[in-house]
Amino acid sequence: MPFITASTLAPDYDVIVVGSGAGGGQTAYTLCMEGARVLMLEAGRTYRPEIETPMFQTPEEAPLRGAGTPDKAWDFYDATVDGGWELAGEPYVQGSPGAGGDFRWWRARMMGGRTNHWGRVSLRAGPYDFKPYSRDGLGFDWPIGYEDVAPYYDKVERLIGVYGTSEGLENTPDSPPGCLLPPPAALVSDLLIRQRAQRVGVPVIPGHRAVLTRPLDWKNSPGILHPGNLAAQRIIAADMQRRAACLWATPCGRGCSIRANYQSTTVHLPPALITGRLDILTDAMVSQVVMGSSGRASGVRFFDKRAGTEHQARGRVVVLAASACETVRILLNSTSASFPNGLANSSGKVGRYLMDSVGSSLGGQVPLLEGLPPQNEDGASGDAVYAPWWMYREQHAGRLDFARGYHIEISGGRRMPGVDTMKGTEWLTGGSYGRRFKADARRFYGSFVHFYGRGEMIPNEHSYCDIDPRVKDRMGIPVLRFHWRWSDHETRQAAHMQKTFADIIDALGGRTQNPAPADGAKAISTGGSIIHEVGGAIMGADSRTSVTNSWGQTWDVKNLFITDGAVFASNADKNPTLTIMALAWRSADHILAALRRREL
């Protein structure tokens, strides 16, 4: 019985997985497909993409013509049915309000978590990214290298479907043949940017996104994903055939009812449920890990949000994948006489080294793109092309004033116009209205390009979260308090981004409304606002300075694992989610082997 209630919980499970997003979805998938009985506890509601996804609605059918609201930050049709920058009754606290130290926290409370909306940019971290300290003496090395994670990147790409190319570039790993799907056609604006960016030394190559440009290889991939397991191969082969290729017409952020892009709800959970080994309990907010005898976790305590009652679930292994900060919150709230400072916290590092991506952006208007013949450019609804970090050599030679790189995400083209399509264009139109404004709209529509930098942040002692001593959420669970500070490396990197974007816009013959800011402290995003938050329970080789070992297994509690971004020891410029999934698969394999040997 896959969807259960608190009253129909089985007395015991092999593994309890907390959270159903990228980390929880991947963990549950691997465990169930390979024979473990899993309970997934999810704080949000059930979500059924096949009937709830508003793929084909047009803006005029929505209130405010689909414009964003505090409830729905991106737009009315966004896939996130419950979540956002603020959650009713679930506050968090700024440790040093103002002072540039604010942290923004975007949470989803629904089955599949943030994977229902996410941008689907899926980049592998490279060999340098796992050993950053060895390269420049800053931050920490991971206890594993690229070669340990590469086989899992291969598997995740084959399973979820990622388009892109292998270009042989430095620290931008190639995928083995058969892993990637072909990229979609680039838009006119992409082609122009590729040509002109080259003039200022920036390479632009096909993007990598978790979208099916063609059906998955259901004949060959199942045997590679689940060697020797015919039952799992049959399930995933059949499920892969139920996923259609992209029809290039609808915004991915609304979700995809034809399952052409990756959401945990459309990719990980359906086959895991088919195994019959997965029980999912939604509206179940886990507050604590419960400890049993001999230093082992016996299960978790959770709050049934529908009934308003508290319960416990029991399992041989507990896996936390509630998203990096929520996982930290559960650990810090799991206090007892033996663990007065929170669970798995003998190092004092739980909550420490919180990281986000460095973000900075600039848009421009390009006369060369004005007045092109109208055509449907809805396209890939995200990066068809991007620029990987290209200055490794200069940086290593000390010719840049900051450490670590960034990549550039690129947008342009003529997507379905929305209510804000011509918003803020008075600097071009002179504030025209009526017929003149219509003519201006036709002229300028599709002539805008945007560049978004996503850069590496180095972990620092000032960016962390702890439990606020006073504030509790509506379920009575103490909430997180955030402390944040960018270092000069990040602000200088943001300044470099702005200069690069301005150079590219210049090379395009374009113009910007205002000059690109030269001060990185002004150009950099607020902490957390890029929604790539990781760290807080970092992995390491030494139990005195880290929370988990290389398998995401906490040093202090042998049967407690973490499979979300909390374990990241650094936050490469590559968006984190593909790595979260690769590490989750790796941890799940480790758990399965240990369960078979009865070591857990």
197 binds, among ligand FAD, ligand SF4, none (CB under 5 to 8 A by kind): none
For residue 457, which of 494, 482, 410, 483 has the smallest C-alpha distance?
494
When the beta carbons of 336 and 376 are compared against ligand SF4, the nearer one is: 376
Selected range binding ligand FAD among 109-117, 168-176, 460-468, 550-558, rule: CB under 6 A: 109-117
Query: Please, are residues 542 and 235 in contact by the beta-carbon 8 Å criterion?
Result: no
When the beta carbons of 113 and 364 are compared against ligand FAD, the nearer one is: 113
CA distance 390 to 387: 8
Residue with nearest beta carbon to ligand FAD: 21
Instruction: Compute the least distance from the CB of residue 250 to ligand FAD, in Å.
Output: 17
Instruction: Compute the least distance from the CB of residue 267 to ligand SF4, in Å.
Output: 12
Binding of residue 326 to ligand FAD (CB under 6 A):
yes
Binding of residue 44 to ligand FAD (CB under 6 A):
yes
Query: How many C-beta neighbours within 10 Å does residue 368 have?
Result: 13
256 binds, among ligand SF4, ligand FAD, none (CB under 5 to 8 A by kind): ligand SF4
DSSP state of 378: -
User: At residue 394, what are phi and psi to the nearest 5 degrees?
Assistant: -60, -40
196 binds, among ligand FAD, ligand SF4, none (CB under 5 to 8 A by kind): none
When the beta carbons of 109 and 194 are compared against ligand FAD, the nearer one is: 109
Q: Order across the sheet with 93-94: list the strands.
A: 93-94, 478-483, 464-472
User: At residue 569, what are phi and psi to the nearest 5 degrees?
Assistant: -90, -10
Binding of residue 252 to ligand SF4 (CB under 6 A):
yes
When the beta carbons of 118 and 448 are compared against ligand FAD, the nearer one is: 118
Q: Which two tokens stand for residue 436?
A: 């003149």
When the beta carbons of 254 and 586 are compared against ligand SF4, the nearer one is: 254
159 binds, among ligand SF4, ligand FAD, none (CB under 5 to 8 A by kind): none
Binding of residue 361 to ligand SF4 (CB under 6 A):
no
The site map against ligand SF4 for 533-552 (x = CB under 6 A) is --------------------
End-to-end CA distance of the chain: 25
For residue 304, which of 275, 336, 282 has the smallest C-alpha distance?
282
* Beta-strand runs (E) in 136-231: 162-163, 180-181, 205-206
CA distance 102 to 553: 31
When the beta carbons of 417 and 431 are compared against ligand SF4, the nearer one is: 417
Helix (H) / strand (E) containing 134: helix 132-136
Helix (H) / strand (E) containing 191: helix 188-199
3-state DSSP call for residue 535? coil
Binding of residue 381 to ligand SF4 (CB under 6 A):
yes
Q: Which two tokens stand for residue 234?
A: 């049959």
Binding of residue 261 to ligand SF4 (CB under 6 A):
yes
Q: In whole angstroms, how large is the CA radius of gyration of the chain?
A: 23
User: At residue 165, what are phi and psi to the nearest 5 degrees?
Assistant: -130, 165
Q: Which two tokens stand for residue 201?
A: 């030394």
By rule CB under 6 A, what count of residues binds ligand SF4? 11
CA distance 435 to 86: 41
Query: Please, are residues 560 and 297 in contact by the beta-carbon 8 Å criterion?
Result: yes
When the beta carbons of 209 and 481 are compared against ligand SF4, the nearer one is: 209
Selected range binding ligand SF4 among 251-259, 476-484, 509-517, 518-526, rule: CB under 6 A: 251-259
Binding of residue 33 to ligand SF4 (CB under 6 A):
no
3-state DSSP call for residue 239? helix
Binding of residue 41 to ligand FAD (CB under 6 A):
yes
246 binds, among ligand FAD, ligand SF4, none (CB under 5 to 8 A by kind): ligand SF4
Selected range binding ligand FAD among 106-114, 219-227, 305-313, 509-517, rule: CB under 6 A: 106-114
Report the 3 state secondary structure along 422-448: CCCCHHHHCCCCHHHHHHHHHHHCCCE
Binding of residue 20 to ligand FAD (CB under 6 A):
yes
Q: Which of residues 192-211 bind ligand SF4 (CB under 6 A)?
A: 211
For residue 360, which of 216, 223, 516 has the smallest C-alpha distance?
516
42 binds, among ligand SF4, ligand FAD, none (CB under 5 to 8 A by kind): ligand FAD
CA distance 108 to 42: 11
43 binds, among ligand FAD, ligand SF4, none (CB under 5 to 8 A by kind): ligand FAD
425 binds, among ligand FAD, ligand SF4, none (CB under 5 to 8 A by kind): none
Question: C-alpha distances in angstroms, 14 versus 235, 310, 320, 400?
Answer: 21, 22, 14, 51
Query: Please, are residues 529 and 344 in contact by the beta-carbon 8 Å criterion?
Result: no
Q: Is 191 exposed, middle or buried (0-12, 13-18, 19+ CB in 10 A)?
A: middle
When the beta carbons of 90 and 148 are compared against ligand FAD, the nearer one is: 90
Selected range binding ligand FAD among 103-111, 224-232, 504-512, 543-551, rule: CB under 6 A: 103-111
When the beta carbons of 240 and 566 are compared against ligand SF4, the nearer one is: 240
When the beta carbons of 38 and 252 are compared against ligand SF4, the nearer one is: 252
Binding of residue 247 to ligand SF4 (CB under 6 A):
yes
Instruction: Compute the least distance from the CB of residue 350 to ligand SF4, in Å.
Output: 37
In this structure, are strands 464-472 and 448-455 parallel, antiparallel, or unpaired?
A: unpaired
> Which member of 16, 18, 150, 280 binds ligand FAD (CB under 6 A)?
18
434 Cβ contact partners less than 8 Å away, ≥ 6 residues apart: none
355 binds, among ligand FAD, ligand SF4, none (CB under 5 to 8 A by kind): none
Instruction: Compute the least distance from the CB of residue 71 to ligand SF4, in Å.
Output: 22
CA distance 566 to 540: 12
Instruction: Give long-range contacts, CB 8 A cutoff, 24+ apart: 399-402.
Output: 400/496, 401/492, 402/488, 402/489, 402/490, 402/492, 402/493, 402/496
> Which member of 74, 133, 218, 248 binds ligand SF4 (CB under 6 A)?
248
Instruction: Compute the least distance from the CB of residue 109 to ligand FAD, in Å.
Output: 5
517 binds, among ligand FAD, ligand SF4, none (CB under 5 to 8 A by kind): none
Binding site for ligand FAD (CB under 6 A): 18-24, 41-44, 106, 108-109, 113-115, 117-121, 285-286, 321-323, 326, 330, 531-532, 564-565, 575-577, 580
Residues that bind ligand SF4 (CB under 6 A): 211, 246-248, 250, 252, 256, 258, 260-261, 381
